[in-house]
């Protein structure tokens, strides 16, 4: 009985056009769209060009000159430096010919930049680099002075280490759509596929209730226990949903070459658990109330997309906004939980936070499933 | 005396203030084709849904095959086949897959099931369409598929709730013949409809319902004997003077005359040669008339006499 039901659940699902459209084609199209949209941004600003600056010296500082010379040399030069006086430097800054001015007085370095307005831009990144350099130099000027004095041949090593430090500084977003931001779109895309699986779960509930569909009435009149048909349908839907997740993740990872980090197998795992969450969510929605299947399906799809919206599928900074105004919502928004689990996977070496997100997903899955079962079984005796 | 298959006693079902079933009693015996006739909204579907435990009810008791019916009376469910007003099949499954799926909810054994599915396909003459999806079937074929899904497991009791709504006359006849054949093969049938012709055609016993109450029950002949009408004479005639109409109504056995839209209707109760006497009156008055019908009472007359309204106002 179980296998009989499972077989036909599979057949139905794989032949349903909406499944192919929403769970397979839609993510592929959207993923490709993201890839195209991001590739422009990514390439235009990661080609790193030297930051134009002016240096105003008060007295002679050979150590600093040495450092600047090293940083302004070669293909990957950090700065394009011009030595000048203060007035000329201010003029250049106002005319936006340079991004900042370095003042050298004795050992200490101070900087002037005109803060860029708005969000991250190429200009603000340059300024961050200048500031970062100032901090690094001030923090390390003793070491640098030592090196110049004692082993001048090592100065270039020290300086390049310094410049690496600056480039790797996590406060410097390398691009507008920086790596993290872009990934979070893909994470949300996976969350969306997972949640759109709610349509599958919804059908289970609707088609097993005598009061919601003619098919439900027919099933209810048969001697097969409701529990058996529901569980086998659940197994069928979750399997189909897992396959859809695997297709989506594989497409992103291998066709679009999205870099999910070294734990790709865990991305599959988290996505699949998210898929279970989606199916159980739909099952719960389907069992509530007496609306027809089309109305419920519309509700489930809308709800899934709203969750994804607040998690940042349409606008990357949405999750940050939510975490400012309603941080609790990110903890219970299924889309946010799914995409966060993927984020944690990539950005933390240990599995602690990842596990925490997975546990949250499993708890939600169980809660939704229990709600669905409870309502579906209760309906057995309720009125049409 | 045949075995009682279904026994409904004092069934009351309320939807908030509306009393959908009002102390309904029914007893259906082995081998019957039992008709539940009533206008839309009279409570036929409600009766069926209570019978199948799809609905709870407020009062009364229901027994099927001698046992109390309940959602977990799986033994009873195993022997019931249902065909509802709304077609209940999966769009994503082909004809044969649909039949196999629903049959599989009743019959576990694979080879036995295969045989049953084959029989159902032959019975509904769907052989040429087994790999079609329901969307590709015409209305009549779809109804036949709906029936095949309901009867493939060879139930002892088959319940059909208005299976011919919106079906063309030809397919309707096929369906009715099929139902009679199932009955001949041993199944007890419960058939609901608001078409009296269908019920008259196939049912061995009929209960007439109105507003949740059973207003009459019996074979069609018994029902017709309950009423005083035995013959209705209709004459197409352009005009008729009031005194002639008066004269007609004083004829023996005539209990009602009516003239409306060029049609004279005279209702008679008992007696012989009513038609000739009526035509004689018209002839003596030198009135010209067109077609003449003499009809035996129909279930509509039964309904009309008991409730004071026609079974169907439209269609
Ligand atoms: N779910 C419901 N809620 C309220 N009233 C209902 C419901 N279902 C049916 N009814 C009412 O109960 C009465 C009987 O309906 P039904 O059994 O469907 O009639 P039939 O099948 O004879 O056309 C009708 O008046 C109908 O409006
Ligand atoms: Mg009805």
CATH classification number, B4-218, choose in 3.40.50.2000, 1.20.210.10, 3.40.50.300, 3.40.1010.10: 3.40.50.300
**A229 and A347, same domain (yes or no):** yes
pLDDT at residue number A382: 44
**A102 and A193, same domain (yes or no):** no
pLDDT at residue number A116: 62
Going by DSSP bridges, is the β-strand pair A100-105/B4-15 parallel, antiparallel, or unpaired?
unpaired
* Closest chain A CA to residue B75: A223
pLDDT at residue number A42: 52
**A345 and A221, same domain (yes or no):** yes
For chain B, the structural domain boundaries read: 4-218, 231-296
pLDDT at residue number A133: 81
What mean pLDDT do residues A148-155 have? 77
- Residue bearing the CA closest to ligand 1, atom 7: B15
**A141 and A93, same domain (yes or no):** yes
pLDDT at residue number A120: 53
The response to whether residue B193 sits with its C-beta less than 6 Å from ligand 1 reads: no
Q: Kindly report, residue by residue over B174-208, the tens digit of the pLDDT.
A: 899 999 999 999 999 999 999 988 999 999 999 99
The response to whether residue B20 sits with its C-beta less than 6 Å from ligand 1 reads: yes
Choice between A32 and A70, residue whose per-residue pLDDT is larger: A32
**A325 and A210, same domain (yes or no):** yes
- Chain A positions contacting chain B at CB under 8 Å are 1, 4-5, 8, 11-13, 15-16, 210-211, 213-215, 217-225, 229, 380-384
Domain boundary among A163, A195, A211: A163
Residue A110 domain-assigned? yes
Domain B231-296 has CATH 3.90.1580.10: no
pLDDT band of residue A59 (cuts 50, 70, 90) is: confident
Q: Residue A334 sits in which domain range? A: 2-41+180-376
**A302 and A230, same domain (yes or no):** yes
The response to whether residue B44 sits with its C-beta less than 6 Å from ligand 1 reads: yes
Instruction: Mark yes or no for CB contact B88/A4 under 8 Å.
Output: no
**A257 and A357, same domain (yes or no):** yes
Q: Kindly report, residue by residue over B115-131, the tens digit of the pLDDT.
A: 999 999 999 999 999 99
**A32 and A53, same domain (yes or no):** no
ipTM value for the complex: 0.86
- Tell whether the model's pLDDT for residue A166 goes beyond 70: no
> What mean pLDDT, rounded, does chain A reach?
83
Domain boundary among A138, A163, A188: A163
Q: Which of A27-36, A199-208, B287-296, B306-315 has the lowest mean pLDDT?
A: B306-315
pLDDT at residue number A277: 96
B53 neighbourhood in chain A, CB within 8 Å: 220
Residue A324 domain-assigned? yes
What mean pLDDT do residues A257-268 have? 87
pLDDT at residue number A183: 83
From the CA of B51, how far away is ligand 1's center (Å)? 15
- Tell whether the model's pLDDT for residue A62 goes beyond 90: no
- Where chain B has pLDDT below 50, the residues are 313-315
**A342 and A256, same domain (yes or no):** yes
* Closest chain B CA to residue A211: B54
Q: How many Å apart are CA B25 and CA B12, to the nearest integer?
A: 10
For residue A57, give the CATH number of its domain: 3.40.190.10
Instruction: Mark yes or no for CB contact A11/B93 under 8 Å.
Output: yes
Three-class SS of A171-227: CCCCCCCCHHHHHHHHHHHHHHHHHHCHHHHHHHHHHCCCCCCHHHHHHHCCCCCHH
Proximal ligand: closest to the CA of B86:
2
Place of tokens 């229990």: A370
A74-78, A114-118, A286-290, A375-379 — which one is most confidently predicted on average?
A286-290
* Sequential DSSP letters for A54-83: EEEEES--HHHHHHHHHHTSSTT-SEEEEE
**A294 and A343, same domain (yes or no):** yes
From the CA of B22, how far away is ligand 1's center (Å)? 13
- Tell whether the model's pLDDT for residue A153 goes beyond 90: no
Instruction: Mark yes or no for CB contact B105/A382 under 8 Å.
Output: no
Q: Which of A131-135, A356-360, B4-8 has the lowest mean pLDDT?
A: A131-135
**A22 and A94, same domain (yes or no):** no
Residue A116 domain-assigned? yes
Proximal ligand: closest to the CA of B47:
1
Q: Kindly report, residue by residue over A213-223, the tens digit of the pLDDT.
A: 889 999 999 99
pLDDT band of residue A291 (cuts 50, 70, 90) is: confident
Domain boundary among A163, A198, A231: A163
The response to whether residue B255 sits with its C-beta less than 6 Å from ligand 1 reads: no
Q: How many residue pairs from chains A and B have C-beta atoms closer than 8 A?
A: 78
- Is B71 touching A (CB cutoff 8 A)? yes
Residue A173 domain-assigned? no
Query: What percentage of chain A has pLDDT greater than the value 70?
Result: 88
pLDDT band of residue A238 (cuts 50, 70, 90) is: very high
φ/ψ bin of A85: left (φ > 0), alpha (ψ from -120 to 50), beta (otherwise): beta
Residue A220 domain-assigned? yes
From the CA of B162, how far away is ligand 1's center (Å)? 14
Instruction: Mark yes or no for CB contact B54/A15 under 8 Å.
Output: no
**A253 and A343, same domain (yes or no):** yes
Q: How many domains does chain A have?
A: 2
Q: Kindly report, residue by residue over B39-48, the tens digit of the pLDDT.
A: 999 999 999 9
Residue A174 domain-assigned? no
Proximal ligand: closest to the CA of A384:
1
């Amino acid at each position: 009985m179980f296998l009989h039901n499972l077989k036909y659940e599979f057949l139905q699902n794989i032949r349903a056009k909406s499944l192919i459209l929403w769970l397979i084609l839609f993510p592929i199209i959207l993923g490709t769209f993201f890839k195209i949209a991001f590739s422009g941004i990514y390439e235009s600003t990661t080609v790193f060009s030297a930051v134009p600056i002016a240096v105003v010296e008060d007295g002679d500082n050979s150590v600093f000159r040495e450092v600047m010379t090293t940083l302004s040399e070669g293909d990957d030069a950090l700065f394009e430096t011009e030595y000048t006086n203060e007035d000329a430097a201010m003029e250049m800054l106002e005319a936006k010919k340079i991004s900042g001015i370095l003042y050298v007085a004795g050992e200490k370095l101070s900087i002037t930049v005109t803060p860029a307005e708005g969000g991250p831009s190429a200009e603000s990144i340059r300024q961050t680099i200048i500031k970062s350099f100032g901090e690094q130099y001030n923090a390390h000027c003793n070491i640098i002075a030592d090196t110049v004095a004692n082993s001048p041949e090592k100065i270039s090593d020290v300086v390049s280490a310094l410049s690496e430090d600056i480039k790797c500084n996590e406060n410097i977003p390398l691009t507008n759509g920086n790596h993290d931001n872009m990934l979070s779109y893909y994470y949300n895309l996976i969350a969306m596929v997972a949640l759109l699986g709610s349509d599958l779960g919804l059908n289970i509930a609707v088609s097993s209730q005598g009061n919601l569909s003619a098919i439900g009435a027919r099933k209810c009149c048969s001697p097969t226990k409701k529990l058996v048909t529901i569980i086998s349908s659940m197994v069928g839907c979750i399997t189909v949903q897992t396959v859809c997740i695997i297709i989506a993740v594989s497409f992103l990872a291998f066709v679009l070459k999205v870099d999910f980090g070294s734990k790709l197998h865990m991305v599959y795992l988290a996505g699949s658990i998210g898929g279970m969450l989606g199916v159980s969510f739909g099952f719960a929605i389907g069992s509530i109330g007496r609306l027809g299947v089309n109305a419920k399906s519309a509700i489930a799809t809308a709800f899934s997309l709203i969750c994804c919206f607040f998690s940042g599928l349409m606008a990357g900074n949405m999750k940050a906004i939510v975490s400012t105004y309603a941080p609790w919502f990110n903890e219970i928004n299924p889309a946010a939980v799914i995409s966060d689990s993927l984020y944690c996977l990539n950005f933390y070496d240990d599995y602690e936070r990842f596990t925490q997100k997975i546990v949250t997903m499993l708890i939600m899955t169980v809660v939704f499933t229990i709600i669905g079962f409870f309502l579906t079984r209760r309906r057995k005796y309720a009125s049409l | 005396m045949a075995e009682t298959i279904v026994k409904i006693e004092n069934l009351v079902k309320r939807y908030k203030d509306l009393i959908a079933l009002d102390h309904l009693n029914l007893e259906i015996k082995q081998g019957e084709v039992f008709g539940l006739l009533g206008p839309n909204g009279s409570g036929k579907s409600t009766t069926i849904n209570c019978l199948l435990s799809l609905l709870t009810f407020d009062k009364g008791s229901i027994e099927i095959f001698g046992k109390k019916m309940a959602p977990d009376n799986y033994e009873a469910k195993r022997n019931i086949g249902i065909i509802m007003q709304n077609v209940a099949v999966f769009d994503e499954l082909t004809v044969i897959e649909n039949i196999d799926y629903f049959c599989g909810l009743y019959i576990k054994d694979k080879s036995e099931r295969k045989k049953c599915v084959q029989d159902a396909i032959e019975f509904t003459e769907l052989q040429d369409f087994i790999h079609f999806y329901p969307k590709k079937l015409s209305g009549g074929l779809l109804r036949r598929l709906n029936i095949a899904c309901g009867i493939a497991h060879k139930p002892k009791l088959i319940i059909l709730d208005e299976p011919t709504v919106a079906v063309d006359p030809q397919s309707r006849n096929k369906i009715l013949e099929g139902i009679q054949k199932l009955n001949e093969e041993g199944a007890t049938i419960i058939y609901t409809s608001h078409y009296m012709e269908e019920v008259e055609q196939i049912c061995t016993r009929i209960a007439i319902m109105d507003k949740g109450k059973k207003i009459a029950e019996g074979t069609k002949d018994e029902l017709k004997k309950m009423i005083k009408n035995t013959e209705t004479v209709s004459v197409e005639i352009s005009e008729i003077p009031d005194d002639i109409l008066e004269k007609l109504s004083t004829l023996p056995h005539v209990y009602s005359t009516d003239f409306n839209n060029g049609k004279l209707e005279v209702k008679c109760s008992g007696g012989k040669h009513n038609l000739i006497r009526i035509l004689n009156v018209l002839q003596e008055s030198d009135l010209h008339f067109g077609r003449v019908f003499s009809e035996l009472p129909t279930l509509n007359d039964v309904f009309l006499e008991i409730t004071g309204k026609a079974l169907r106002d439209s269609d």
